[in-house]
Amino acid sequence: MPSALDAENRPVMFIGMDVRPFEQAVTEDLQHNIVMITIVFLVGLAGIISLFWSRKVIRSHRLLQDTRAFAAETIASLPMGIIIVDKRRHIRYMNDTACSLLGINISAVTDKTADEVLPEEIWHLHKIADAHGKGLEKEIVVNSENSGPTPISMMVTNIFDQAGEFLGFLFILKDLSQIRALELKIRRKERLAALGTLASGIAHEVRNPLSSIKGYAGFFGSLFEAGSDNRKAAQLMVEEIDRVDRVISELLEFARPADLQLRPTPPELLIKNSLRIIRHEAQSAGIRVKEKIDVRLPELHLDPDRFSQVLLNLYINAIQSMKHGGDLTVDVSMKRDAVLFAVSDTGEGISPEDQPAVFNPYYTTKKKGTGLGLAIVHKIVEGHNGAIWLESAPGKGTTFFVSIPLKKQQRKVP
């Protein structure tokens, strides 16, 4: 008998199930997953992009800051003065060079208008710039407290934005003192060269007849009695001829183009030898001669003959300034990389107005002076790459300083 458990005869029951909701659920799940993945992907992508973006923004921000700082530093350290004035006439910017050229303290500029801060000769130029619209260049002299009268090249221009609207004025200042000093030096050299040619011509033509006149004056003088008026007149002639001869010699010396014969020379020896020459003259004028020589001085590379001439000219001027006796002091010391010679007297002194003129050729306050002594001194010192200056108090005395550098001394006297 067939059993219900028999595999072959087992009854089969078919149950019909609707799978659509299941499939729908699977599909929804899939869609949900896709949406989620897409959202996650998009969020991730947005995150990466914004990360990149923010990095880029930070980098460009930093770059902008660097560029701004660089531009500000560049403008601040330009060797030209920059002043920016806005259209309400307020000073918006002034770099260090402009401040020091005009002797203005930057803290005094804040919230001030240009006409309150800038010297009139500079500020009034904006009107001309207004009229022209374009840049305008002009040379002016400003009197700053720090450096006295200074020649300045001024450029004024109007500033406009991209839309063409007027924003303010830009002033550019350039210090011309070095250029002017150089021009002066070149002009002096040219004048000297012309003078040299002229002087040697005069010397040639004048000296020979002069020596004959001197000889005859001496001869005629000897024909008269000693102490007589005629004898005195003849002596005066001889003295005057000597003076003319001295002027010619000094002029030749001043204008002569010469090479320096540089040799290692101990400064001490220079002082001793040069003082020996004037000691007698000084003593008879009631002048005490004092010397202070630093024992550690190195040898200097200079032309001993021509440098002795520098010292002698300074001594002679010093002696001539002490009509009633006094002290002539020569002090030689080391000052950083130079040797400093100081020749001081206790004589009449030089007034501040006269001081700038003393090195000019033919400047003299003496009846029998040639005015060439200090011009020669100046030229020889310059030839040694040195510097000369003076300090003086009228009625108290004068000190001339000559500084000779230890290096780079070889140069031709122009």
Task: Indicate which single residue of 255, 348, 379, 380 sits in contact with ligand ADP (rule: CB under 6 A).
Answer: 348
Sign of CA dihedral 341, 373, 321, 316: positive
Question: Which range, of 5-13, 29-37, 159-167, 373-381, touches ligand ADP by CB under 6 A?
Answer: 373-381
User: Does residue 406 contact residue 337 with C-beta atoms inside 8 Å?
Assistant: yes
Rg of the chain in Å (alpha carbons): 45
Contact between 347 and ligand ADP (CB under 6 A)?
A: yes
The pattern of x and - marking residues 263 through 302 that bind ligand ADP according to CB under 6 A reads ----------------------------------------
Q: Do the bridges between strand 166-175 and strand 287-293 make them parallel or antiparallel, or are there none, so unpaired?
A: unpaired
Task: Indicate which single residue of 95, 150, 308, 321 sits in contact with ligand ADP (rule: CB under 6 A).
Answer: 321
Partner that binds at residue 365, options ligand ADP, Mg ion, none, CB closer than 5 to 8 Å by kind: ligand ADP
Q: Which residue has the tokens 């030229």?
A: 379
- What region does 362 belong to: left with phi over 0, alpha with psi -120 to 50, or beta? left
Task: Indicate which single residue of 96, 363, 406, 413 sits in contact with ligand ADP (rule: CB under 6 A).
Answer: 363
Cα separation, 334 vs 170, in Å, equals: 47
Report the residue number, 271 or 318, with the smaller CB distance to ligand ADP: 318
Cα separation, 386 vs 269, in Å, equals: 19
Report the residue number, 121 or 382, with the smaller CB distance to Mg ion: 382
Task: Indicate which single residue of 119, 218, 266, 371 sits in contact with ligand ADP (rule: CB under 6 A).
Answer: 371
Q: Which residue is nearest to ligand ADP (CB)?
A: 373
**Span between the terminal Cα atoms of the chain, in Å:** 149
In the complex, minimum distance from the CB of residue 359 to ligand ADP, in angstroms, rounded to a whole number: 7
Lookup: tokens for 242: 């000597």
In the complex, minimum distance from the CB of residue 373 to ligand ADP, in angstroms, rounded to a whole number: 3
Partner that binds at residue 348, options Mg ion, ligand ADP, none, CB closer than 5 to 8 Å by kind: ligand ADP
Question: With b meaning 16 or more CB within 10 Å and e meaning fewer, what string describes 22-36?
Answer: eeeeeeeeeeeeeee
Report the residue number, 317 or 344, with the smaller CB distance to Mg ion: 317
Report the residue number, 93 or 363, with the smaller CB distance to ligand ADP: 363
The pattern of x and - marking residues 306 through 335 that bind Mg ion according to CB under 5 A reads -----------x------------------
Contact between 129 and ligand ADP (CB under 6 A)?
A: no
Cα separation, 272 vs 269, in Å, equals: 5
Question: Taking the CA of residue 79 as centre, how many other CA atoms within 13 Å lie in the half-sphere pointing to its CB?
Answer: 3
Task: Indicate which single residue of 221, 373, 383, 386 sits in contact with ligand ADP (rule: CB under 6 A).
Answer: 373
Give every CB contact of residue 389 below 8 A, 6+ residues apart in sequence: 400, 401
Report the residue number, 142 or 375, with the smaller CB distance to Mg ion: 375
Partner that binds at residue 347, options Mg ion, ligand ADP, none, CB closer than 5 to 8 Å by kind: ligand ADP
Report the residue number, 308 or 321, with the smaller CB distance to ligand ADP: 321
In the complex, minimum distance from the CB of residue 72 to ligand ADP, in angstroms, rounded to a whole number: 50
Alpha helices for 77-176 (secondary structure H): 96-102, 114-117, 120-123, 125-132
In the complex, minimum distance from the CB of residue 328 to ligand ADP, in angstroms, rounded to a whole number: 9
Q: What is the DSSP string of 33-77?
A: HHHHHHHHHHHHHHHHHHHHHHHHHHHHHHHHHHHHHHHHHHHHT
Q: Under the rule (CB under 5 A), what is the footprint of Mg ion?
A: 317, 373
